[in-house]
Amino acid sequence: AVRFLLSVWIFIPGCDSDVTCRNDNGAPVDWYIIYKYPRMIGGGLRYLYMDEHSTNGWTLSTKRISKGALLKTLAPLLDFYVSKTTDFGYLLYNDQPPGHDASSSYGHSKGVVMLDKTGKTGVWLSHSTPRFPTYRNRNFWPNNGNDNAQTFLCVTFPYDSFREIGEQLKYIHVYPFDHYIPTDFPKELGCLTKQGCYRNKKPWYRMKTLTSKANREFYSFAKNKLFGDDLYSGLILKKVKKNLYVRSWGKRGPTKLLASNCEDPHRHLYNVKRVELPHGAPFIDTVDHSKWCVTERGAFTCIADLNRMESQKKRGGGAICTTNHVVGRAFRALIRKSEPCPHKKPRG
C-alpha cells in the first residue's frame, strides 16, 4: 500500500508539468483568452477568462493575474529554471523585454512558446504585456503589468505545428530575449534564436491555418516590416471582407494614430475608443494596451500584436484568430464607443 501511494504521488507532478494551456485550477484546456483589467479596476490584477468550455463567454476569475491560468500554464518553464527538464524547450519574445527595449527593426510582437518533445505538445501564448515574463524568475509577473489592460491568448498545439509557427515568427522577426531550443527541436524555432533569421524576400506577409491539439482551427496572420501597411486594414480586413472593429493602444506618442478606415465602400474598419468589461467600469484606449479585433457580424476575432499607428506600418507583427461564435459575441459585447468615419455616426 505504501509503494502504491508513493507511485501515485510521483505520477501527479509529472501530469502537472505537461506542456499545455491550463485554466485557473490547473486543468488542461485547448485554448483560453484572458482580458486583464487596467489599474483603475481592482488594482490591475483582476481579469476575465474564457476557454472552450465557456458557453456564456466571459467569467470573472477569482484569482489574481499572477496566481491563476498564467501561473499554471507557465509551470513547466518555471520548473525548468530550477531543474533542467529533458525534452523541453522554450522561446520568449518581446519587443519590450525585461530591462530594455528591442530595436525597432524587430517585430512589435510579444509571446511565449513552450514545447514538450516527449508529450508531442506545445503552447503558443500570444500577449500584449511589456517585460512579461520576468527574466528567469518564478515571480514572472512584472510590476508594470498592473497599469494597463492587456490580452492573452493561449493555444495548445501539436508539437509538429511549431514548424509553421516558427515560420510565422520569422516573418514577424520577433525579438527573442530568452530561449532554450535543443538542436533536435524544429529548426524553424532554432533559427529564431540566431542573428539574421528573418524574411528577406517577397511576399512580405503570410497567412496560415493552424489546427490545435483538439482539432480546432486558428488562423495566423504575419507581416514583415517591409509589408509597409497596417495589419488590420491592409491584411485582416481584406481577408474577412466584413466591417471590422479594432481595439489597440490609443495613447499618442511621437507617431500619429491611424483613423478609422472607410476607403473601401463595401467594408469599413472602426477604431474602438471605449470598452466596458463585465464587473468593471468603462475605460478608454489610453489605459488599454490590448490589441484585438472582431467583425461586425459573424465570429471572426483576433488577438493581435500591433497598434494602429503610422509607425507600425513599418513594424513586423501578427494576429491569431478564431471563428468561435462565443468568442465573437463576447468581444462585440464589450464595445461601447467607436470612432466614426467622416459623416458617419459613432456606435454607442
**pTM, entire model:** 0.93
Q: Extract the C-alpha cell encoding 314.
A: 513599418
pLDDT digits (tens, 9 = 90+) for 130-156: 999 999 999 999 999 999 999 999 999
- Domain residue ranges in the chain: 18-338
- Residues 92-121 have a mean pLDDT of 97
Spatial contact of 49 and 58, defined as CB atoms under 8 Å apart: yes
Distances from the Cα of 99 to the Cα of 72, 92, 95, 198, angstroms:
25, 14, 11, 24
- The mean pLDDT value for 260-268 works out to 94
What type of residue sits at position 58?
W
Above pLDDT 70, what percent of the chain? Answer: 93
Task: Report the chain's mean pLDDT, rounded to a whole number.
Answer: 93
3 state SS of 126 = strand
Say how far apart CA 170 and CA 215 lie, in whole Å. 24
Q: Could you count the other beta carbons within 10 Å of the beta carbon of residue 46?
A: 18
The DSSP line for 58-106 is -EE-SS-TTTSHHHHHHHHHHHHHHS--TTEEEEEEESS-TTS---TTS
Cα torsion 329, 335, 339, 341: sign: positive
Q: Is the bond into 142 cis (omega within 30 degrees of 0)? A: no
Among 179, 289, 325, 343, the one annotated catalytic? 289
Distance CA 107, CA 316 (A): 4
Going by pLDDT thresholds of 50, 70 and 90, the confidence category of residue 346 is low
Environment class of 52 (CB within 10 Å of its CB; exposed 0-12, middle 13-18, buried 19+): middle
Active site residue 289: yes
**What's residue 5's pLDDT?**
40
The per-residue pLDDT for range 281-317, each reduced to its tens digit, is: 999 999 999 999 999 999 999 999 999 999 999 999 9
Strand order in the sheet with 31-36: 59-60, 47-51, 31-36, 150-158, 121-127, 110-116, 88-94, 176-180
Exposure of 220 in the CB half-sphere (CA atoms within 13 A): 25
Cα–Cα distance, 207 to 210 (Å, whole number): 10
Q: What is the pLDDT of residues 176-230, one digit of tens each?
A: 999 999 999 999 999 999 999 999 999 999 999 999 999 999 999 999 999 999 9
Per DSSP bridges, beta strands 244-247 and 269-275 are parallel
Whether the per-residue pLDDT at 7 is higher than 70: the answer is no
Q: What is the pLDDT of residue 167?
A: 98
